[in-house]
Amino acid sequence: MACGRSRGIEGFEGDRSQSQSDTPKIPGIPHQDAAGVLEKLGYRPNSRDGILAAMRYTTILESQPDSGYHAFCPTLPGCHSEGDTLDQAIENIREAVTAYLESLTAHGEPLPIEDILIKPLDVTVTA
C-alpha cells in the first residue's frame, strides 16, 4: 500500500517532561484545550502511556454494478478495498486503514486529521 502525504498534527506527541498531563501538544492550541479538540476529532487517548489507541475515519462504501462493494477512506489517499458483502468490505477497509496508519507511523509521518464534511444536496434538474 502506498503512503501518500496527508495533513495531520505536526509535532503531535506527548511531552511529559514539560507537563504533568499526558495530553499531546498541538501547535496553535493551548495545552489545556488539546484534550477536548482531540476528542472531537475522534482520537481516544490511552491513559496508560499517552499513546493514541483508537482513531475514527469516515469510509465510503459503494455497491458495484456486478456485485460486491468498493470501500475507500477519503482522508487517506489511495486507501481502498472491496468485499463481496457489506460486512466483508467493512472488515477489509478497516484492515486497509490500519495498515495505512501503521505505515505512516513506521515512516515517521503524522497521522491525518479528518476534515471532511459529507452533506447531501437537493438539486433541481430542468428538462
Residue 89 lies in a domain: yes
The phi, psi pair for 89, rounded to 5°, reads -65, -40
Domain that holds residue 89: 57-109
The phi, psi pair for 23, rounded to 5°, reads -70, 130
User: Does one domain contain both 61 and 101?
Assistant: yes
Residue 1 lies in a domain: no
Q: How far apart are alpha carbons 80 and 89 in whole angstroms?
A: 10
Grid cell in block for residue 90: 467493512
* pLDDT of the residue at 27: 53
Q: How far apart are alpha carbons 66 and 68 in whole angstroms?
A: 7
* pLDDT of the residue at 26: 52
Q: Which among 42, 51, 49, 62 has a CA at the least distance from the CA of 113? A: 42
Grid cell in block for residue 68: 460486491
User: Does one domain contain both 67 and 94?
Assistant: yes
Residue 18 lies in a domain: yes
- Please give the tally of structural domains in the chain: 2
Contacts of 13 (CB under 8 A, 6+ apart): 24, 25
User: Does one domain contain both 16 and 44?
Assistant: yes
* pLDDT of the residue at 36: 63
pLDDT string in tens for the chain (127-residue length): 333 333 333 333 333 333 434 555 555 555 555 566 556 555 555 545 555 557 789 999 999 999 999 999 999 999 999 999 999 999 999 999 999 999 998 998 888 988 888 889 999 999 8
